[in-house]
Amino acid sequence: MAEATSVVLLLLALGFAIVRPKGLPEIVVAAPAAGLAIALGLVSPQTAWAEALRLLPVVGFLAAVLALAYLCDREGLFEAAGALMARGRGGLLLRVFVVASLVTAVLSLDATVVLLTPVVLATTSRLRVRPAPHLYACGHLANTASLLLPVSNLTNLLAFTASGLSFARFAALMALPWLGAIAVEYAVFRRFFAAELRPPEHRPRNDGPGVPIFALTTVALTLAGFVVASAVGVNPAWAALAGGLVLAARALGQRRVTVRSVLRSADLPFCGFVLALGVVVRAVVDGGLGRAVRPLVPGGDSLLGLLAVAAIAAVLANLFNNLPAVLVLLPITAASGAGPVLATLIGVNIGPNLTYVGSLATLLWRRVLHAHAHEPDLGRFLRLGLLTVPAALVVAVGGLWAGLRLIGP
């Protein structure tokens, strides 16, 4: 009964987060669900508090990166990216892949979904080309291209903490999986959307906005700060906070933002949702899910073992969403070392491209397209997922296995 109750609470919290009736924040149901789990004895107050404290640095990091992405947008970084995509050489799909992959890796998947996707839509309209291939690319790359850095995704931050790796070693081990998965996505997209990819009817004049040097320099220094902070044992969230404060001071001085808008961009209600969901997931794990999953997860970092871990993670992500999936699996895989932890990450990041419910980023991407009258087609989304997800998982895990042999865990 305890296990069933905790699962129901988790599904209620996730279901509300998926639907978000009247635009209410996800925490509206997640917080009462966490409180109910404690009140019913599904998780002790001490365990719930310990879980919240464990997640707090990760959530603080997330808030800082979200604010950093918003401030980069106010500096004109995404507008400049749109102009670059419109004017650059090569096919538009390739340019979208390059820009979306870099934005996702450096500024997180939320920046790609919320800030870059509307820019890509506007760019396809200016060039008079079919928008579907490029919009679907944003949705897929928000998940797939988030493999590279600890800051790229909330799941990465959780895995980074559990792995015990430095920022630089994490990035080095995930570089091959990142490149391999993106290459698979691009090859499939070229074939899948072949009939809709054609040269633009015209190219806009070279009159777009200039490159925002200050924003780019601040982001580059912030990334360097992540590496240095990790090397000296300081939480990289401080580097993200420093970068955000620099951009915020400039934007406030130029009256392009307000203190309230900067705080709102950190999405504190969503951060609270993550903490509350962590407590509910802990109740589910303690209620029996952890014991049920543990025998299925192989130990070690053999190629077949890593593939099995990634496959299990992908399945759980599509059943329960990728955030609960990673919270369930990390305590199990962390005991076997960094390799299985990163294989878990590959599964929960690439796997959600198979269904709408696999990640909150995909659900948010749907809402963004709906707001711009471009509702995605479910059948097309599923077919594209079936073509990309299995192949990308295999290639990415192969890259991870090779990296572990070349670099070491």
pLDDT digits (tens, 9 = 90+) for 211-249: 788 988 998 999 898 888 888 888 778 888 899 999 999
In a domain, 24, yes or no: no
In a domain, 371, yes or no: yes
Per-residue pLDDT at 156 exceeds 70? yes
Q: From CA 401, how far away is CA 176, in angstroms rounded? A: 9
Higher pLDDT, 140 or 84: 140
The one-letter code for the residue type at 309 is V
Per-residue pLDDT at 206 exceeds 60? no
Higher pLDDT, 374 or 202: 374
Q: Give residue 382's region: left, alpha or beta (phi > 0; psi -120 to 50).
A: alpha
pLDDT band at 203 (very low <50, low <70, confident <90, very high): low
- Note the pLDDT of residue 305: 95
In a domain, 16, yes or no: no
In a domain, 9, yes or no: no
**Structural domain total, the chain:** 1
Place of tokens 């906070």: 241
Choose among 262, 250, 261: nearest CA to 68. 262
pLDDT band at 138 (very low <50, low <70, confident <90, very high): very high
For the chain, percent of residues with pLDDT exceeding 70: 97
In a domain, 355, yes or no: yes
**Alpha carbon distances (Å) from 321 to 13, 316, 362:** 11, 7, 10
- Asked if 290 and 328 touch (Cβ cutoff 8 Å), the reply is yes
Per-residue pLDDT at 52 exceeds 70? yes
Per-residue pLDDT at 1 exceeds 80? no
Choose among 321, 393, 407: nearest CA to 12. 321
Higher pLDDT, 23 or 196: 196
Q: Give residue 252's region: left, alpha or beta (phi > 0; psi -120 to 50).
A: alpha
Q: From CA 154, how far away is CA 243, in angstroms rounded? A: 19
Q: From CA 278, how far away is CA 275, in angstroms rounded? A: 5
In a domain, 30, yes or no: no
Q: From CA 111, how far away is CA 78, in angstroms rounded? A: 9
pLDDT digits (tens, 9 = 90+) for 245-273: 999 999 999 988 999 999 998 888 888 98
The two structure tokens encoding residue 11: 């599904």
Average pLDDT, rounded, for the chain: 89
In a domain, 15, yes or no: no
The one-letter code for the residue type at 146 is S
pLDDT band at 19 (very low <50, low <70, confident <90, very high): confident
pLDDT band at 57 (very low <50, low <70, confident <90, very high): confident
The 8-class DSSP code of residue 357 comes to G
> What residues have CB less than 8 Å from 340, skipping those under 6 apart?
297, 299, 300, 301, 305, 306, 309, 333, 334
Range of the domain at 170: 46-407
- Note the pLDDT of residue 359: 87
In a domain, 35, yes or no: no
Per-residue pLDDT at 110 exceeds 90? no
- Asked if 293 and 311 touch (Cβ cutoff 8 Å), the reply is no
